[in-house]
C-alpha cells in the first residue's frame, strides 16, 4: 500500500530482511559475549549491523514515493526498536539487567546504517536498477 508519504509494502519488505539477517546475529552476539567469546561477538555484531543495512537498503530501493532516505532510516530504526522491545521485555520478565546506554548507542549506529541503506537504495534506483515488481511496468 502506498500513501502520499510512506510505502508500507517497502517498509515491510525491508523490515523482513532486517529481521531475518540482523536479529539472529544480534542474539548470537549476546550469547557469544555472555560466554566470553568476545571476538566472535564482535563479528556477529558487525553481521547484525550489515543485516540492518540490507533491510534499510531494500526498503529504500523498493519504495515508490521518492523518499529512499526516510524509508531506510524508518526501516532500520523501527526494526531495531521492535526487536529491542522484545529483548527488554524478556529481560524484565527474567529479572536481567537492561543496558539502556548500550541500547541507545546501538540505536545511533542503526540510525546511521539506515541513512547509508537509504543512500544505497537511492543509488540503485538512480542507476536504473529497478525491483522486479517494477521492471515490467516501465
Tens of pLDDT, residue by residue over 26-66, are: 999 989 998 999 999 999 999 999 999 999 999 999 999 99
In which band, very low, low, confident or very high, does the pLDDT at 4 lie, cut at 50, 70 and 90? confident
Q: Is the pLDDT assigned to residue 67 strictly greater than 70?
A: yes
Domain boundaries, the chain: 8-135
Q: Using CA atoms, how far apart are residues 68 and 79, in angstroms rounded to an integer?
A: 16
Of 44, 16, 20, nearest to 32 by C-alpha is 44
pTM: 0.88
Q: Is 2 helix (H, G, I), strand (E, B) or coil?
A: strand
Q: What percent of the chain is modeled with pLDDT above 90?
A: 81
Tens of pLDDT, residue by residue over 11-31, are: 999 999 999 999 999 999 989
Amino acid at each position: 500500500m502506498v500513501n502520499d508519504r510512506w510505502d508500507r509494502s517497502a517498509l515491510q519488505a525491508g523490515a523482513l530482511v532486517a529481521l531475518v539477517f540482523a536479529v539472529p546475529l544480534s542474539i548470537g552476539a549476546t550469547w557469544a559475549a555472555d560466554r566470553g567469546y568476545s571476538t566472535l561477538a564482535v563479528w556477529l555484531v558487525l553481521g547484525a549491523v550489515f543485516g540492518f543495512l540490507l533491510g534499510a537498503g531494500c526498503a529504500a530501493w523498493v519504495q515508490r514515493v521518492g523518499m529512499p532516505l526516510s524509508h531506510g532510516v524508518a526501516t532500520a530504526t523501527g526494526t531495531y526498536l521492535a526487536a529491542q522491545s522484545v529483548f527488554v521485555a524478556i529481560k524484565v520478565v527474567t529479572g536481567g539487567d537492561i543496558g539502556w546506554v548500550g541500547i541507545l548507542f546501538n540505536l545511533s549506529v542503526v540510525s546511521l546504517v539506515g541513512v547509508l541503506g537509504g543512500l544505497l537504495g537511492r543509488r540503485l534506483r538512480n542507476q536504473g536498477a529497478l525491483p522486479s515488481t517494477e521492471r515490467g511496468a516501465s
